[in-house]
Amino acid sequence: MDYFVNVTITGLTQGIIYSAFALALVLIWRSTRIVNFAQGSMAAATTFIALALIQAGQSYWVALVVALVSGFVLGALVERVIIRPVEGGPELNAVIVTLGLFVAIQALIAIIFGSSFQSFPTPFGVRGFQVGGSTIPLTPTSLYVIGSVLITMALLVALFRFTRVGLAMRASAFSQEVARLLGVKVGGMLTLGWGLAAVVGSLSGLLIAGGGFVYPAYMDSLIVFGFVAAIIGGLDSPVGAIVGGLILGLALSYVNGYVERGSALVSVAALVILIVVLLVRPGGLFSSTTARRA
Amino acid sequence: MSDLQSPTSAAAGKATDDAPTTSTAGANAPSAPTGTGRSFLPQSTLPRHLVVLVLSAVLAVVLLEVSSPYQNSQIATLSYYAIAAGGLTVLTGMNGQISLGHGALMAAGAYTTALFLDADEPLPLPVILLAAIVVATVVGALVGVAAARLHGPYLAGATLALAVGLPGLAIYFHDIFGGEQGMRVRAPQAPDAFESFVQTVSGNNASSTKWLAYVGVICLLITYFFLANLVRSRIGRTWRAVRDQEVAAELAGINLGAWRVLAFVVSAAAAGLAGGVLAIVVRLAAPSGFTLVLSLALLTAIVIGGLGSLLGALLGSALLVFLPPFVTNLGSDFGLNGTEAAQLAPFVYGVVLIVAMIFAPAGFVGTIRLRRMTAKARRGSAAQAKAAGANGG
Domain spans of chain B, in order of start:
45-322, 366-393
Confidence of residue A160 (pLDDT cuts 50, 70, 90): confident
Tell me the range of A145-149, B142-146, B243-247 where mean pLDDT is highest: A145-149
Q: What is the mean pLDDT of residues B322-335?
A: 82
Write out pLDDT tens, residues A201-257.
999 999 888 878 888 888 888 888 988 898 888 787 888 888 999 999 999 999 888
Asked if A44 and A205 count as a contact pair (C-beta separation under 8 A), the reply is yes
User: Is the per-residue pLDDT at A86 higher than 80?
Assistant: yes
What percentage of residues in chain B have a pLDDT greater than 90? 19
For chain B, how long is the longest CA-to-CA vector? 86
Q: Of the ranges A281-285, B169-173, B285-289, which one carries the lowest mean pLDDT score?
A: A281-285
| Bridge partner residues of A130 (DSSP) | A135
Q: Which amino acid is at A186?
A: V
Confidence of residue B34 (pLDDT cuts 50, 70, 90): very low
Q: pLDDT at position A288, please? A: 55
User: Is the per-residue pLDDT at B171 higher than 90?
Assistant: no
User: Is the per-residue pLDDT at A284 higher than 80?
Assistant: no
Confidence of residue B84 (pLDDT cuts 50, 70, 90): very high
Write out pLDDT tens, residues A117-136.
888 888 877 677 777 767 77
Write out pLDDT tens, residues B183-215.
888 877 778 788 788 777 777 777 788 888 889
Q: What is the mean pLDDT of residues B152-163?
A: 84
Q: pLDDT at position B194, please? A: 81
Q: pLDDT at position B391, please? A: 65
A199: closest CA of chain B, how far (Å):
22
Q: Nearest CB to B157: which of A35, A108, A267? A: A35
Q: Which of B343, B344, B349, B352 to mutate to test the interface with A (most CBs of A within 10 A)?
A: B343
User: Is the per-residue pLDDT at B24 higher than 70?
Assistant: no
Q: What is the DSSP letter of B307?
A: T
Domain spans of chain A, in order of start:
15-218
Asked if A23 and A238 count as a contact pair (C-beta separation under 8 A), the reply is yes
User: Is the per-residue pLDDT at B16 higher than 70?
Assistant: no
Q: What is the mean pLDDT of residues B359-371?
A: 81
Q: What is the mean pLDDT of residues B292-313?
A: 86
Distance in angstroms (rounded) separating the CA atoms of residues B124 and B109: 16
Q: Which of B352, B357, B359 to mutate to test the interface with A (most CBs of A within 10 A)?
A: B357
Distance in angstroms (rounded) separating the CA atoms of residues A224 and A227: 5
Radius of gyration (C-alpha) of chain B in whole angstroms: 22
User: Is the per-residue pLDDT at B23 higher than 70?
Assistant: no
Q: Nearest CB to B158: which of A88, A264, A275? A: A275
Q: Which residues contact B387 (CB under 8 A, 6 or more apart)?
A: none
Distance in angstroms (rounded) separating the CA atoms of residues A284 and A17: 19
Q: pLDDT at position B287, please? A: 85
Q: pLDDT at position A250, please? A: 92
Q: Is B100 on the interface with A (CB under 8 A)?
A: yes
Q: What is the mean pLDDT of residues A181-187?
A: 88
What percentage of residues in chain A have a pLDDT greater than 70? 95
Distance in angstroms (rounded) separating the CA atoms of residues B216 and A43: 40
Q: Of the ranges B126-130, B197-201, B270-274, B320-324, which one carries the lowest mean pLDDT score?
A: B197-201
User: Is the per-residue pLDDT at B161 higher than 90?
Assistant: no
- Higher-confidence residue of B155 and A281: namely B155
Q: For the beta carbon of residue B324, count every other beta carbon within 10 angstroms.
A: 18
Q: pLDDT at position B130, please? A: 93
- Higher-confidence residue of A184 and B386: namely A184
Q: Is B20 on the interface with A (CB under 8 A)?
A: yes
Asked if B195 and B54 count as a contact pair (C-beta separation under 8 A), the reply is no
Write out pLDDT tens, residues A8-23.
888 888 899 999 999 9
Q: pLDDT at position B148, please? A: 81
Helix (H) or strand (E) holding A134: strand A134-135
Tell me the range of A195-204, B55-64, B119-128 where mean pLDDT is highest: A195-204
Q: pLDDT at position B334, please? A: 78
Return the residue of A nearest to B17 by Cα. Answer: A90
User: Is the per-residue pLDDT at A192 higher than 80?
Assistant: yes
CATH number of the B45-322 domain: 1.10.3470
Q: Which residues contact A55 (CB under 8 A, 6 or more apart)?
A: none
Residues of B in contact with A90 (CB under 8 A): 17-23, 361
**Chain-wide mean pLDDT for chain A?**
85
Q: pLDDT at position B39, please? A: 62
Say yes or no for a CB contact (<8 Å) between B350 and A107: yes
Confidence of residue B4 (pLDDT cuts 50, 70, 90): very low
Q: pLDDT at position B21, please? A: 44
Q: pLDDT at position A27, please? A: 87
Say yes or no for a CB contact (<8 Å) between A86 and B1: yes
Write out pLDDT tens, residues A25-41.
988 888 888 888 899 99
Residues of B in contact with A103 (CB under 8 A): 293, 296, 346-347, 349-350, 353
Q: pLDDT at position A10, please? A: 85
Q: Nearest CB to A103: which of B96, B154, B293? A: B293
Q: pLDDT at position B7, please? A: 38
ipTM of the complex: 0.83
Return the residue of A nearest to B352 by Cα. Answer: A100
Q: pLDDT at position A65, please? A: 93
Q: What is the mean pLDDT of residues B347-364?
A: 85
Say yes or no for a CB contact (<8 Å) between B161 and A92: no
Tell me the range of A84-88, B22-26, B262-266 where mean pLDDT is highest: B262-266
Asked if A95 and A25 count as a contact pair (C-beta separation under 8 A), the reply is no
Helices A186-209 & A2-32 angle (0-180, nearest 10): 160
Distance in angstroms (rounded) separating the CA atoms of residues A136 and A147: 18
Helix (H) or strand (E) holding B251: helix B246-251
Q: pLDDT at position A231, please? A: 85
Q: Is B89 on the interface with A (CB under 8 A)?
A: no
Residues of B in contact with A34 (CB under 8 A): 153
Q: Nearest CB to A95: which of B149, B152, B358? A: B152
